């Protein structure tokens, strides 16, 4: 059983990954922590509470960072053309969702959950890395107590999606991501190199809805705006970035990987760019030397990943 804390900025693709984690038989979802990104922190937190209520998820929700790790860093407006003004595809999420929040800030929730379950917690982080960096700052010892950190973010051998250099989750808080990648805990990076290959078609999403009932009807509805955004970018469907990271936890064999230290460019025209120094390759002295070797995903069995998502979500039917 994998004990998972899901750090997220819901977000349409975040919502699908949440439903996957909630339904998967080998995952014990012990917490949901929110971060700003696809919308402001008030909105992503409200959305997490909304999805918790609608999908009857027991895990507590803790509200996280609403600004970058280094305060007042140049920040970017939420991508409303991708996820809608409400972050969930403009389905009309209520302003207030009457579900209590965990009293702790997200980073403290993360620290305390790791300390309560030494060696057992997997962090699945699919938004900006701000809460993870804040957790490391508060309690650096957690690096020895975490099982692994699986993140959606970055682009190594492909272009970014916010700038040619940078992917959104890293671009949104580069210093936080650099801290997460250079810390001595095991990190797996599921970036655009593999997520851009993983397209769920409209029909596949409709099949999930038909087989899974009302929970998946909500998923279907909130995804339509996002599908429209992807219309001109991928053939007939949507890229399911965050679900790829969630699937990695239970099926790492569906990914090919490469090890090496990772740095994030902080500032300048390549702000947020991720660069790995592959293990075993010779270079001159550089700022990649002597750092922990982390894992990046370089390939994916996309049909198999899509099948696991389908099978997991339809494994629980609700009318």
Catalytic residues: 241
| Separation between Cα atoms, residue 137 and residue 139, nearest integer Å | 6
Among 169, 223, 261, 294, binds ligand BDR (CB under 6 A): 169
Asked if 238 and 227 count as a contact pair (C-beta separation under 8 A), the reply is yes
- 14 near Ca ion, rule: CB under 5 A: yes
Q: Which of residues 71-110 bind ligand BDR (CB under 6 A)?
A: 79, 82
Residues found in the chain: 319
Binding letters toward Ca ion, positions 232-251, x by CB under 5 A = ----------x---------
- Using CB under 6 A, pick the residue from 19, 152, 219, 264 that binds ligand BDR: 152
Q: Answer yes or no: are the C-beta atoms of 68 and 112 closer than 8 Å.
A: no
H or E segment to which residue 2 belongs = strand 2-8
Note whether 123 binds ligand BDR by CB under 6 A: no
Tokens 């997460």 -> residue: 180
Report the residue from 18, 57, 106, 126 that binds Ca ion according to the rule CB under 5 A.
126
**Contact status, residue 126 vs residue 169, Cβ threshold 8 Å:** yes
Least distance in angstroms from the C-beta of 46 to Ca ion: 16
b or e along 292-308 (b: 16 or more beta carbons within 10 Å of the residue's beta carbon)?
A: bebbbbeebbbeebbeb
Measured from the CB atom, the residue of 50 and 108 that comes closer to ligand BDR is: 50
Q: Is 168 in the site for ligand BDR (CB under 6 A)?
A: yes
**DSSP 8-state secondary structure symbol assigned to residue 100:** P
Among 167, 173, 175, 193, binds ligand BDR (CB under 6 A): 167
168 vs 189, beta carbon nearer ligand BDR: 168
Using the contact rule CB under 5 A, the part of the chain among 6-14, 111-119, 228-236, 250-258 near Ca ion is: 6-14
Indicate if the alpha-carbon torsion angle 4, 24, 100, 153 is positive or negative: positive
**DSSP output for 205-217:** HHHHHHHHBHHHH
Binding ligand BDR by CB under 6 A: which of 126, 132, 240, 250? 126
Q: How far is CA 248 from CA 11, 40, 84, 105, 304, in A?
A: 19, 27, 27, 27, 11
Q: Which one of 16, 31, 35, 38 is in contact with ligand BDR (CB under 6 A)? A: 38
Shortest spacing between CB 226 and ligand BDR, in angstroms: 9
What CA–CA distances, in Å, run from 247 to 159, 193, 239, 296? 23, 16, 14, 15
Smallest distance, Å, CB 118 to ligand BDR?
28
44 vs 182, which CB is nearer to Ca ion?
44
Please state, in angstroms and rounded to a whole number, the distance separating the CA atoms of residues 102 and 16. 22
Rule CB under 6 A: is residue 171 a binding residue for ligand BDR?
A: no
If one asks whether residue 14 binds ligand BDR (CB under 6 A), the answer comes out as yes
For the chain, report the end-to-end CA distance as a whole number of angstroms.
Answer: 28
Using CB under 6 A, which of 33, 131, 161, 243 touches ligand BDR? 161
- For residues 21 and 108, which CB has a smaller minimum distance to ligand BDR in the complex? 21
Name the helix (H) or strand (E) containing 264. strand 255-264
Residues 241-270 that bind ligand BDR (CB under 6 A): 241-242
Residues 6+ apart with CB under 8 A from 91: 84, 218, 221, 222
Q: Does 11 bind Ca ion (CB under 5 A)?
A: yes
Interface residue list for ligand BDR (CB under 6 A): 11, 13-14, 38, 79, 82, 126, 152, 161, 167-169, 241-242
Interface residue list for Ca ion (CB under 5 A): 9, 11, 14, 126-127, 242
């Amino acid at each position: 059983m994998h004990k998972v804390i899901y750090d997220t900025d819901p977000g349409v693709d975040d919502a699908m990954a949440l439903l996957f984690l909630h339904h998967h038989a080998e995952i014990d979802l012990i917490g949901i922590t929110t971060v700003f990104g696809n919308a402001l922190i008030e909105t992503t937190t409200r959305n997490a509470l909304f999805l918790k209520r609608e999908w009857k998820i027991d895990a507590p929700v803790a509200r996280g960072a609403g600004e970058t790790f280094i305060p007042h860093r140049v920040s970017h407006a939420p991508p409303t053309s991708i996820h809608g003004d409400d972050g969930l595809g403009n389905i009309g999420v209520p302003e207030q969702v009457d579900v209590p929040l965990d009293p702790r800030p997200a980073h403290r929730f993360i620290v305390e959950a790791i300390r309560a379950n030494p060696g057992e917690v997997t962090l699945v982080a699919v938004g900006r890395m701000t809460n993870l960096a804040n957790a490391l700052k508060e309690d650096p010892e957690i690096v020895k107590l975490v099982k692994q950190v699986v993140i959606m973010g970055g682009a190594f051998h492909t272009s970014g999606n916010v700038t040619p250099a940078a992917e959104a989750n890293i671009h949104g808080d580069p210093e936080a991501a650099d801290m997460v990648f250079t810390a001595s805990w095991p990190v797996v990076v599921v970036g655009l190199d593999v997520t851009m290959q993983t397209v769920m078609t409209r029909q596949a999403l409709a099949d999930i809805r038909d087989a899974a009932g009302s929970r998946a009807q909500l998923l279907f509805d909130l995804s339509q705006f996002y599908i429209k955004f992807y219309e001109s970018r991928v053939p007939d469907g949507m890229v399911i970035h965050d679900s790829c990271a969630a699937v990695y936890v239970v099926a790492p064999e569906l990914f090919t990987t490469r090890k090496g230290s990772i740095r994030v460019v902080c500032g300048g025209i390549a702000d947020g760019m991720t660069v790995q120094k592959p293990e075993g390759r010779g270079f001159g002295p550089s700022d990649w030397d002597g750092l922990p070797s982390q894992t990046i995903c370089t390939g994916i069995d996309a049909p198999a990943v899509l099948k696991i998502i389908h099978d997991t979500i339809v494994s629980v039917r609700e009318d």
